[in-house]
Amino acid sequence: MKRREFMEKTGFCAAGLFTPASQEQQSRKAPPCAKREYKLEIEVAEGAKAVCYKVGQKFSYPQDLGKMCPWLRDSLSGFLRALETGAILSWKYEGTPYEKVIDPDGVTTEFVRCPDPTSAGIVVKITRTAV
């Protein structure tokens, strides 16, 4: 798959910026990127041994970032940036407890594990909802 195709399929509007355009592509006008609004919610899915969090605890993005520890914030940052801009991370983890919902027109989910080296085992589920 070519880089341009990949970028377009993953939801990046600026895909044309990453590859040199041929003369034919330059003559076509690029469609405008539709800016969508999303609500992102972060929920603790695993981590019964965690001192700071309880399973089921929810956080709103970006309002509640200050309520999360730096380990968790750092592990979430790339996923949050991608999801808030409409990207779709295509891996699904089918048949596992982390199987995702991928619906670019509605609800999309993503699971992220905190890299904290203790036995806390924090896993959060990010839910993106189109507004």
* pLDDT one-digit tens code per residue, 78-126: 999 999 999 988 889 999 999 999 987 889 999 999 888 777 789 999 9
Q: At CA 20, angle to CA 15 and CA 25, rounded to 5?
A: 80
For the stretch 25-74, pLDDT in tens is 555 555 566 678 999 999 999 988 888 899 999 999 999 999 998 889 99
Grouping H, G, I as helix, E, B as strand and the rest as coil, residue 129 is strand
Locus of tokens 């309520």: 67
Query: Residue 105: what are its φ and ψ, rounded to 5°?
Result: -100, 5
Assessment of whether the complete model's pTM goes beyond 0.75: no
| Mean pLDDT confidence for 7-19 | 53
Q: Which helix (H) or strand (E) holds 108?
A: strand 107-113
Nearest Cα to 39, choosing from 88, 124, 107? 107
Residue 38: predicted pLDDT: 94
